Structures are given as C-alpha cells and as structure tokens.
Homo-oligomer: A and B are copies of this chain.
Amino acid sequence: MILSKDLVAASSTPLILSILSIEDSYGYAIIQQVHELSDGELKWADGMLYPILHRMEKKGWIESFWGQANTGRKRKYYRLSAQGTSELKQQQEQWQKLSNMISKLEK
C-alpha cells in the first residue's frame, strides 16, 4: 500500500513526538524505528526527516543535545520538551477525532 502524501505529512509529526515520548532518540534511529513500527510500509528519507526535526525544534516541541555512540561517532539526540508533550497530546486527540468522523460515516 502506498500511503498518500498528505497522510504521510500529517502523521510524521505525531509519530516523531510519540517515539520521543518513549525515549530520546536521534535522526538515523528514528527512521529505522518508523520503518519497523510500520512493518516496512513507511520508509522515510533522511533528507526529509532532518528538516522536520529542525522545524519541530524551532517550534519548541523538542530539544537537541549532542551525544556519543560507544563507537565514538557523534549523534544529535532529541528529547521531548514539556511543550512537545502537550502538543503530542493535542495531536493525538485530533487524530482520534478525525478518525472517528471518518469511520462514523462508514456504511
């Protein structure tokens, strides 16, 4: 199944917020987490994710800090901010509301 562009766009933010609500993560890992979570249906390009992360940070939903893998390679981790937590809650509610509207109409 190919997910519609609109839906992918609309789901990316809540998905990232959700993932970060479980534990801090970094760009490259988030891509893989999404890939697994979706059973391979969502395959984000990295060039698509990083701008989203930057935008979310600018909005104050997430905060970044540099970390180090045990390999020595540096990673830019993100953590959910307080604002991001409330944003996540709101977006989940919105999804729920729209899902209900759409499925309520099902014959």
Contact = CB atoms under 8 A, between A and B. Distances in A.
A38 interface: yes
A11 B97 CA distance: 11
Contacts of A94: 1, 3-4, 7
Given A10-B7, A97-B41, A102 B92 contact: yes
Interface string A80-97: 000000000011111111
Interface range on chain A: under 10, 10 to 19, 20 to 34, or 35 or more?
Answer: 35 or more
- How many copies altogether? 2
Contact of A4 (B18, B38, B91): B91
B107 A21 contact: yes
Chain B CB within 10 Å, residue with most, of A10, A98, A104: A98
B10 A105 contact: no
